[in-house]
Amino acid sequence: MVGDKRSPAQQRLVDAATRLFSERGYAATSVADIQKACGLTGGSGALYKHYPSKRALLDEVVGVHLTTMRAGHAAFAAQVPDDLEGALHYVVDAVWTSMRNDHAVLRVLLRDLDDFPDLLERIWTEIRSNVYDPFTLWISEQTGRGALRVADPAATAAVLLSSLTYLPILQTLIGRTPGDIDPDRFAEAWVQHALATLTAGRL
């Protein structure tokens, strides 16, 4: 049902579930809570007219996040600047904007999915395909044409993305940034660090 196929009623349920799962946690949110948040009677069972279970609604919440991630990958591939520093700034903006827009879903993913290994596997597969693999490919392509000098593009991409995503993850979990550093300073330091890493030893 992900995407334009959702009805207005389904969209309201997804929005309410996303907010409540983020605020209270999946286990602590009841079907009645979700229905009430949509202006429905708690005991009406109205949710089941659209989704067979609360778990199915969680699947939809995750699916919305994955659709957003895929769209972000497509936009990145189409718009990444040619110059290296500009491209790295673009990576920061793209990754942080995506994570900021999905802040509520990110809280659910980080906190409540240990009991759903199938969903975790689905999410990780999409993250690999839409974040890590494209960045690895970009580094490999830039290395191949001599713009970068990187011995292990996959490991380098993993290290750089891990450090970049740590800031929004920490903000989501505890409302702080690494070292309480302003995000703009963090972003600039990340770009400069990435430049040094990616061009080390380049002739």
Sign of CA pseudo-dihedral 126, 130, 132, 134:
positive
The domains of the chain are located at 54-199
- Give residue-wise pLDDT tens across range 119-166: 999 999 999 998 899 999 999 999 999 999 999 999 999 999 999 999
Q: Which fold has domain 54-199?
A: Tetracycline Repressor; domain 2 (1.10.357)
pTM, rounded to two decimals: 0.84
Whether residue 58 has pLDDT greater than 50: yes
Question: Any idea what DSSP says for residue 43?
Answer: T
142 phi-psi bin (left φ>0, alpha ψ -120 to 50, beta other): alpha
Residue pLDDT, tens place only, 80-105: 888 899 999 999 998 998 888 888 88
